[in-house]
Amino acid sequence: MALVLRDWPDIDEVIRRMFDGGAAKSMLRVEEFLDDKTLVVRAELPGIDPDKDVDISVIDGALRISAERQEKSEHKGKDSYRSEFSYGSFTRTVKLPEGATEADVTATYTDGVLEIRVPVAEPVTAEPAKIAVTRG
């Protein structure tokens, strides 16, 4: 497993969230690595329903993961009542390898972890073409 070093394609989002407050709460934690010839992106998303709470799209060569979490708990006792809720939306953008398309992307959700796999194509290297120079 090789780590993939990437630039920060979502730095604007990080800065926006810092000014909105709660950057630590709203960041979607992901790990990204190469598994043979496949880019693997894993995101921690416990307690969500992937069918209704997650949106994965490919836009301009980037993978965009959006999720929304809503949790609510109530405790009713004889003389007491306690209700807690938490909610938030999360978005993360990851630059895709050259030539990747939406058709190449697959996603699974198991035990609170969203895993997205994108095949990485071999780079096409063309032989240098020799250009003839004519005399004028």
Task: Give domain status of residue 34, yes or no.
Answer: yes
Nearest to 33 by CA among 20, 42, 45: 42
125, two tokens: 């290297």
Task: Give domain status of residue 124, yes or no.
Answer: no
Number of domains comprising the chain = 1
Beta strands in 5-132 (DSSP E): 30-35, 38-44, 54-59, 62-76, 81-95, 106-110, 113-119
CATH number at residue 16: 2.60.40.790
The Cα–Cα gap between 55 and 43 comes to 13
Residue labelled with tokens 């090789």: 2
Q: What is the pLDDT along the chain (136 residues), one digit of tens a residue?
A: 554 545 444 566 666 555 554 444 456 789 999 888 889 999 998 888 999 999 999 888 899 999 988 777 888 888 888 888 777 888 899 998 877 777 889 999 999 999 999 988 776 677 888 888 988 7
Task: Give domain status of residue 93, yes or no.
Answer: yes
| Structural domain boundaries, residue 97 | 2-119
The Cα–Cα gap between 92 and 14 comes to 9
Is 115:107 a contact under the CB 8 Å cutoff? yes
